[in-house]
Amino acid sequence: MKKECIKAQNLFSLFIDNKINDTDLIWLNNHLDSCPECVKELNKTKKVLNTLKVLKQENLPFDFYFKLNKVLDKIEEKGKNNMFVFNKQFIFRAGLVFATVIFGSFLTLKIVLDNKKVISPDLSVEKQISQLQDIKKEHPISVERENKLIATQKQQDITIEQKTFASSVPSMAEIEYNQPRVPFNLISTGNSSGYENNKMVNRIYMQPIPGKSYYELNQKQIKNDFDARIFGFVIDNDETKEKLCAKYNISEIPQIDFNSEMLILITGEAISSNNYSVEIINAIKEINKIVVLYKINNFNNGDLVNMQINTRYYDFKIISKTQLPIVFKRIE
């Protein structure tokens, strides 16, 4: 860079602030008339200074200017190490450009946080909707999130609604269901019994069927494997569901979570020293659909059952002599 240009750019800030003396002003005007590059630099400097005025009016992070000063120091130090002619105006303008970029990032992040962070995922759907009501006037984009939450709330209301399995057939149980998405497609992995607190307690360990295994079973395998495999409802379409409901007079079938990997431990007090057993009532296989009805013996109405879902324990009560679907009412 020419020495005249360096001198001119060092006078820019004084010129913009109207603090330049008459001698320097005359010299600068003459130089600008003959140097289009310095005219461009002057216009850029004016633009950056206007940006700085806007920055000062904003509520910036407490460490904003601290970071800006560090950048200016680095630019200055680099200039000294490379033995360049020290150009204060260049350093100042480069720092302000950096500040503008940081501020733009800050504003973008602030808008994102206004529409995300303030809505805590740990809150209930109702409270999330309430929070969205408070901010949607300032941020219209939040309206879309509100609609999604309202749809989620409606779906949850449907899922957790108490359901009753009613049947006119005496052997079919009247079962209440109010614990959503507990899977019924289970494999028995063994059972045990023993005394706890001077009472005989039986346990049966169950886990979900591996992803594709129930599709691969033929009718013979179903009959032969019932002593080791305990199936619940496996229903893939509404037609199969309607046939099952009509055959056994069932008013509703709960949704099954086939992708669950939870391990369920069911315990109950036996009415005798004999282990309770699982008895298959009926099995239906249509194309890729398997529906099995079974019951657990040696349970009476009112017996307490403890169910472990992942690491949490729930107490349930059998409200009717059980026959599949085996569903327990959670004790409030």
**Residue 32 binned pLDDT confidence (cut-offs 50, 70, 90):** confident
State residue 274's pLDDT score: 37
Question: What is the share, in percent, of the chain residues with pLDDT greater than 70?
Answer: 14
Least confident of 33-42, 79-88, 247-256: 79-88
Which tokens in the block code for residue 261? 């990997």
Task: Identify residue 132 by its one-letter amino acid code.
Answer: L
Residue 87 neighbours by CB distance under 10 Å: 19
What token pair was written down for 329?
């009412």
What predicted TM-score, i.e. pTM, was given to this entire model?
0.23
List, for residues 141-167, the tens digit of each pLDDT value.
445 555 665 666 555 544 433 333 333
List the alpha helices (DSSP H) in 116-172: 125-135, 142-160
Query: Mind giving me the DSSP string for 57-126?
Result: TS---TTHHHHHHHHHHHHHHHHHHTTPPP-HHHHHHHHHHHHHHHHHHHHHHHHHHHHTTTS-TTS-HH
User: What is the rounded distance in angstroms from the CA atom of residue 16 to the CA atom of residue 266?
Assistant: 81
Of 303, 271, 283, 277, the closest CA to residue 204 belongs to 277
Asked if 165 and 175 count as a contact pair (C-beta separation under 8 A), the reply is yes
Does residue 21 or residue 54 have the better pLDDT? 21
Query: Per mean pLDDT, which of 10-14, 138-142, 251-255 is the most reliable?
Result: 10-14
Contact between 14 and 34 (Cβ < 8 Å): no
Strand order in the sheet with 264-269: 229-230, 186-196, 199-208, 264-269, 304-309, 312-317, 329-330
Of 23-27, 29-33, 190-194, 304-308, which range is least confident? 304-308
Does residue 295 register a pLDDT over 60? no
Which tokens sit at 212? 């594709």
pLDDT tens, residue by residue, 258-273: 333 222 233 333 333 3
